[in-house]
A and B are shown apart, each in its own frame.
Chain A
Amino acid sequence: MSTQARAKPRALRLLSELRLVARQVRYEQLSFWLNPIGAIFTVGFSLLFLVMLGASAGSSRISYLNNIKLVQYYVPGFIAYGVMSASFNSLAISLVIRRETGLLKRLRLSPLPTWTLLTSILLSTLLIAFAQVVLMLVVGRWAFGVHPPSGASALLALVVVLVLGGLSFAALGIAMSTLIPNQQAAGPLTSTVFFVLLFLSGLWFPLKSGSALAKVSTYFPIRHFITAVFKTFSHPGASPWALNDMAVLVIWGAVAAVIALRRFRWAPRQT
């Protein structure tokens, strides 16, 4: 059997492994959506935030941000939030749970190649994130009259930013999971880090540029992500490509990926 496996052309093996990825993504999705409370909590939370804050913002405008309507800031902001909550918050927590209950170890001991498993987890995370993006674009358009990015360049910019952000925050989520010792600590620790950084980064209220908070938040990736998504929404005369912000996201993602790869463990910490 070994000689057969070796003799199998590389392309054919890649194809069968890609089929394994597709299959695994399907089961990852099934596992996510068959847990209704978890699914509603993850997907519904960002929508709930947008609707509540959007409704309470009414027609108020931000004087220090070209006098745009506040809700025009909230729609891209909560799109970014949705991506981050799926790829950072939920991924970190679910990885700790899967590690500590032995699920990761069991998968590691199956013949499923490691890269196909990790790829499936990442793809599945991005799918959940993008489901939220679509939902938020629709609600933003029909409930609050915020027009989604239009034109090929802006749409492409949006997709690139979301994929970059999704992958960077997924790397941060995996890195975060390696720092959490047990299941009980996973939710509280991750959420505390996440919500403190969200507050510092001006998700609830846009930061005035030059303010102390704005200076602090430039060192963290969240504000750059929100800004990059924000810029893809139509702003006359401005480019939808926030290249500097994207670069910061890539740097954070790369550092997190290095930590994640070095510290990743398959076996429970507790035994």
Chain B
Amino acid sequence: MTAPVVVSPPETRETVGWTGTVIDADVHASLTSLDQVKPFLAPHWVEFIEDRGFHRPMGIDVTYPPNSPTTVRDEWRPGDGRGAASDLSLLQSQALDPWGSEKAVLTCYHAVDSIRHPDFAGALAAAINDWVIEDWLSKDSRLVASMTVPARDPFAAAREIDRVGDHPQIVQVLMGVRSDRLYGRRDWYPLMEALIRHDLVFGLHYGGTADGPPSPTGWASWFLEETVAEVQVYAAQLTSLLAEGAFQKFPDLRVAVLEGGFTWLSPLLWRIDKDLKGLRRDVPWVTESASELVRRHMRFSTAPLDRMPVDELARCLEWLGTDDLLMFATDYPHGSAGSVATLLEAAPDSMRPNLMAETARAFYRLG
């Protein structure tokens, strides 16, 4: 006899018993069809899309297989022809209202970084930004958002940041965790300088260029491997930012790790801090421990939350060495948030308000 599969419904403020303030650090707007952004594209790009039969960047289905439960929770598929998270009313009724979120950081990840056409990538990134501003941000003051950039070209990315980065509801630049160059490298300085110029967060998010293998050492056979291996890529990007001295070069740099989890962080920092003692001559600009730099410059969304016994999760939280590192995220509509109830049970009293709202409020300067 097999046990019945129990799928618990999505958590809400009520189910987890949280009565305090909520800020959701990662919710998604999904572009179901490029028709949605055609009004924001110059006519020749509309013709380009139609002429070539271009439907969507190839990276989007690689990163988020459309029917995978990790891509969309079943409850959040509207079933009426609309794509999940494809319009504001869905986001409001399925994520913002059930959690009573005071603010939410909206991200539209559409794998623009998988497009190699340098000009179309820039045009599509700009169109997505204008769509997010017009169809989402202007209609719900609870929302702030990540902006999309043509990430393969740091100079073009900087131009797009200069174009929309001062919008009062734009708080972050979305950067796919997979990139053809590690983000600490100096090639990225034009982009880094632009986001500092506009006081934006560098949002390191699941996805990115789909050119290279998804693991740091070759191609996986299955999506399971790919989605799990992404943790290693986050670790590589974090290590690059630290070793290249990004936080010395840009003392105001803020990096959010989104959809990357956090349970892997402490062991990685232990390792970096250990090896840095003997290898610091390679990177003499690194004058502080990785732990200190991460605590000052980085924050982590809680999704996806790994499944572990509550006492082990509590230990994991203690290892972080601060109450001010994690930011609650539903990761709507992705089905990977994990059990926020368990997280709240594991977190010490002093961490809970930060976790649920205040860390994100301060980090994104939400007032």
Binding partners A and B: no
What residues of chain B have their CB less than 8 Å away from a CB belonging to chain A? none
